[in-house]
Structure 1
Amino acid sequence: MEPMMTKFFAKTAAAALIAAAAVTPALAQNASGTIQLKGNVALSCTIAVQDLNQSLALKAGETAKTVGSVTETCNSGSGYKITLASANAGKLKSGNFTINYTVSYDNGSAGALTSQMVIDRATAQFGKKSDLKVTVPASDQYIAGDYADTVTVTIAAK
């Protein structure tokens, strides 16, 4: 009886080992999957221009008088450009008569607006406030009249 019992236990042990071997790879096997996250931030460049409605003392002259305020916002990672352009090529006009003036923007860029003035911003900015200032030389020889010009401020991503 002993040999039968030994055969029985041997068969049972062999079956258990085969079953364990079949189960072991399943327990040791790794499985994975991936989930991709995606999103988008749209390019947005805006300016808010506030005209301070200033009247210039032309005969007496003005030095760096703040006439407007601009709030710049642009989320372009490569920066953006601000462009200032004069409707009258940097001159206040009254009919055929003109008075030259210069501007200063953001306490940095300055000059006559005989052509566009471009301010280069290297990075994104959010709510950057900049002032537009005007300088008019004094003169007793200006011709009487109502003088005006329009400065247009534009923002564009780079």
Structure 2
Amino acid sequence: MNKFFAKTAAASLLVAAIAAPAFAQNATGTIQLRGNVAQSCTITVQDQGQNLSLKNGENNKTIGSVTESCNAGNGYKITLASTNAGKLKSGNFEIAYQVNYDGQGGNLNSQMVIDRANAQFNKKADLKVTIPASEQYIAGDYADTVTVTIAAK
């Protein structure tokens, strides 16, 4: 019986070794997250529909309001351009004016560029105009168009 007992014990050890769970090695894996935010620059321009008093002049009169939004990380530019190079025109007659946009002023005989250093959302700014008074303006209906553009840098 000792022989039988020895064989049974050896068989039991062999079954235990086979049935024992194997110890796993440490393993790692990675999952990458990816996404994209599309560049978006928008501008909303609201014309105040002002009728300007040319003979009496205007001083920083708000003629429009602008809402700027641009998510470009390195900023964007606002450009103001005049159809008539910064002059109100009636036929061959013209009256020069000055603009002020968000604290930057000047004439629009060439484009005015306002540089924004970083992204901004729903930034509001007014467009104001100054026209010198004069008794010597020629009669007529005077007009100009200012175009406001936004572009990422």
TM-score by length of 2: 0.88
SS in 2 for 1:9: helix
Structure 1 range deviating more: 34-43 or 50-59: 34-43
Q: Deviations over 1:1-43 (max 9, x none)?
A: 22441343134224423543xx323xx3345554443332222
Instruction: Give the secondary structure class of the aligned counterpart of 2:22.
Output: helix
Count residues in correspondence: 153
* Residue 45 (structure 2) pairs with residue 44 (structure 1): no
Indicate the residue corresponding to 1:120 in structure 2.
115
CA displacement 1:42-100 (0-9 Å, x = unmatched): 22211111111111111111110000011111122221111000111111111111111
Of 61, 68, 81, the match for 1:65: 61
The counterpart of 1:79, out of the listed 60, 75, 78, is 75
Q: CA RMSD in A?
A: 1.9
Gaps of 5+ in 1: none
Q: Select the structure that is richer in helix.
A: 1
Matching residue of 2:141? 146
Between 11-20 and 128-137, the greater mean CA deviation after superposition: 11-20
Q: Which residue of 1 aligns with 2:88?
A: 92
Identity %: 71
Tell me the distance in 2 between the aligned counterparts of 1:19 and 1:29.
18
CA distance in structure 1 between the partners assigned to 2:128 and 2:55 by the alignment: 18
Give the letter aligned to residue 79 of structure 1.
G
Q: Displacement of 1:118 after TM fit?
A: 0.5
What is the one-letter code of the residue matched to 1:24? A
Aligned AA (2:10): A
Q: Please, which runs of 5 or more residues in structure 2 have no aligned partner? A: none
